[in-house]
Chains A and B, each alone.
Chain A
Amino acid sequence: MADRSDDDLDDYIDAVGRALGLPIEDAWRPTIRANLEVSLRLAKLVDDYKLPDESEPASVFIA
């Protein structure tokens, strides 16, 4: 994942918020951004660990 600025993340939050129909007030934005930064940092830790293409997710459906 490329480096990003606060403005990039704010733009992303606005765009996804609109796409999902989520109301986001300006006063909430710093905390939402801070939480999203933590989630993306932790997700990157997982993303960085390369697994084989054949890896199955834990949530495999059994018919």
Chain B
Amino acid sequence: MSSLLDPAEMTATAIAQAVASRKLSALDVLEAVLARIGARDGVLNAFTDVIAEPARAKARAIDAAIAAGQSVGPLAGVPFAVKNLFDVQGLVTRAGAKINRDSSPASRDATLIERMEAAGAVLVGALNMGEYAYDFTGENIHDGNSCNPHDTSRMTGGSSGGSGGAVGGRLVPIALGSDTNGSIRVPASFCGIFGLKPTYGRLSRARTFPFVASLDHLGPLARSVEDLAASYDAMQGADADDAACTTRAVEPVTPFLAQGIGGLRVAIAGGHFQQHLFPEAIEAVGRVAKALNATEVVEVPEAARARAAAYVITTTEGASLHLDRLRTRAHDFDPAVRDRLIAGAMVPAPLVDRAQKFRRWYRARVLELFKHVDVLIAPATPCVAPKIGQVNFVLDGVELPVRANIGIHTQPISFIGLPVVAVPVPLEPMPIGVQLIAAPWREDLVLRVAHALQQMGVAAAPEPKGL
């Protein structure tokens, strides 16, 4: 290796440039990443599967293509990993569950894996997650808990817990996760990394295990905004295999990252988004707002009710998905997940229909708001990562369950499919995330603002300590 820097420490964009210019080989990069996984994953428990040999074959093919003068794509030689609800050819798609281990191995990769690899990226494995993605903690009774790279006694957040731990712990530069109510943004916040939840329908979910079809999104987690943008650009595009996937033209965002924030109207989300916050979340939002000269506070109408409606739709659609498994294999679930799903099956149908009607009403009100604002700032989580196993926290003098309240600020946003970047604010001793939110299909705006914050040093993925 000719670089002084360990490739495992490099961003995806830096790796791709080094590989394309033959300063590093894709195989050297991969071996460094596999060594890093070997050194750290025993502590972090981010990976459920490492596919070293298929990855080596792909890395060699990339090196051969470069040597032959062929085009290799914008992510040439970039190692990445996926939450284990993505189908990976030859692996059983666990979705964090014991039950799904009885399924046959996947016969084809998920669409997003195919698109990442078409851009030159190299899949190295599958990542730990909360059972069936019904989780905000990163805890898993079957595979063991994901551990936070900044303090291994703390949660990664979930449900894309391994994705957060693997990127924050510098095992891979990019991981893919899913976000139904916050499952990309919460681990991004707790693990001190960037996470993009795109507009609902923008990225194909084909050949991934679902949770709540009307709320499920997929997206990348990374340590730089350029890496989020590069992977997002590589994964866009229509896909007939996902009924919700848009037929809009691909809209690359990378060319616009450096445009800055001049002329953008940035406001702070008020009301619900300024309540139920620990001091660190208030501090993080304040730092971001100050850096962006944002002083206007905008009320997002009925956001608490939106969160409630998202909760109702989630628990009932999730129960419907798993009804047969609840009937026949109830003892094989994590009991906490099982009991939530059984309860979800018992919510009367008229209340679910009302939640769906409220959803349309709320969407119209929020879109109205975006006629006057380009980007909204909101907390990603109420607090930094709690201790693994922590059940309650005391907020505003009231003892509340941790699990149910971690996502109270993410749920009203994904409820109507808005694009969001969670940016890490490197507070000490633990980082915490802030959401940047825009109107549908305006990923370019939130990534531009995230890039500006990164350039100012206000948003940054801190080095993990003690690994």
Contacts and interface: CB of A to CB of B under 8 A. Distances in A.
Given A13-B346, A49-B302, A57 B359 contact: yes
Nearest to A31: B339
B356 A59 contact: yes
B347 A36 contact: yes
Contacts of B354: 43, 46-47, 51
Interface residues of B, number: 38
**A interface residue count range (under 10 / 10 to 19 / 20 to 34 / 35 or more):** 20 to 34
Given A35-B340, A58-B214, A43 B312 contact: yes
Nearest to A33: B343
B287 interface: no
User: Dominant SS at the B interface?
Assistant: helix
Nearest to B313: A58
Contacts of B346: 12-13, 16-17, 32, 36, 39
A13 B347 CA distance: 10
A56 B347 contact: no
Contacts of A49: 302, 305, 358
A43 B343 contact: no
B351 A57 contact: no
User: Dominant SS at the A interface?
Assistant: helix
30 contacts: A12-B346, A20-B323, A21-B327, A22-B327, A22-B345, A24-B342, A28-B342, A31-B335, A32-B339, A32-B342, A32-B346, A39-B311, A42-B309, A42-B311, A42-B312, A43-B347, A43-B352, A43-B355, A46-B308, A46-B312, A47-B354, A49-B302, A49-B358, A56-B357, A57-B353, A57-B356, A57-B359, A58-B356, A58-B363, A60-B360
Given A32-B342, A32-B346, A35-B344, 19 more contacts: A12-B346, A20-B323, A20-B345, A23-B327, A24-B342, A31-B336, A33-B343, A38-B311, A39-B311, A45-B304, A46-B354, A47-B354, A51-B354, A51-B361, A55-B357, A56-B357, A56-B360, A57-B360, A58-B359
Interface of A: 12-13, 16-17, 20-24, 28, 31-33, 35-36, 38-40, 42-43, 45-47, 49, 51, 55-60
